[in-house]
Amino acid sequence: MDLCKVTPDLFGVESKTAGEITGTSETCVLGGTAQANDFSTEIRPEDAEHILNGCSTMIPTLRGAKIVKQWTGLRPARREVRLEAEERDGRLVIHNYGHGGSGVTLFWGCASDVLDLLRKKINPLDTTAKSKL
């Protein structure tokens, strides 16, 4: 079964108890574990089952979908995202991390803010930067 036919035009379906589903034009990505102080990147069958069961409660037809790939990743989180520029050894460093499980939601705006920081460094007299109001 083709995932994109199962879940057309799907992006950002989420449930606190069931998991998260994001989509592209050809596949969808199922996810949804949050395990504090667990830094393993091993694929665990029990986690995969938990994610599939949870996401299938939102979209039952996912149960018969073909699994294309499995992977794990770490989603470091902070109380607040660190998004700032600093000079280190004469070089510009732009910090943009700590999004945790909200990275897919926040990355558009944070990427825009990174560009604003870079533009200010390249041309400090540029007044076209967007207002935060």
Looking up tokens 């995202």, which residue turns up? 81
**Burial of 3 per CB tally in 10 Å (0-12, 13-18, 19+):** buried
pLDDT tens digits, one per residue of 26-70? 777 888 777 878 888 898 999 888 888 888 888 888 888 888 888
Share of residues in the chain with pLDDT > 90 (%) = 23
- d(CA 112, CA 131) in angstroms, rounded, equals 12
The per-residue pLDDT for 115 is: 95
What is the token pair recorded at 120?
């200010």
List Cβ neighbours of 114 (8 Å cut-off, separation of 6 or more): 83, 94, 96
Quickly state the pLDDT bin for 99 (edges 50, 70, 90): confident
What distance in Å separates the CA atoms of residue 68 and residue 27, rounded to the nearest whole number? 9
Paired tokens of 7: 């879940």
Res. 12: pLDDT tops 50: no
What is the per-residue pLDDT for 94? Answer: 96
- Nearest one of 29, 109, 22, 39 to 75, comparing CA atoms: 39
| Per-residue pLDDT reduced to its tens digit, 71-80 | 887 878 888 9
Which tokens hold the place of 78? Answer: 């902070």
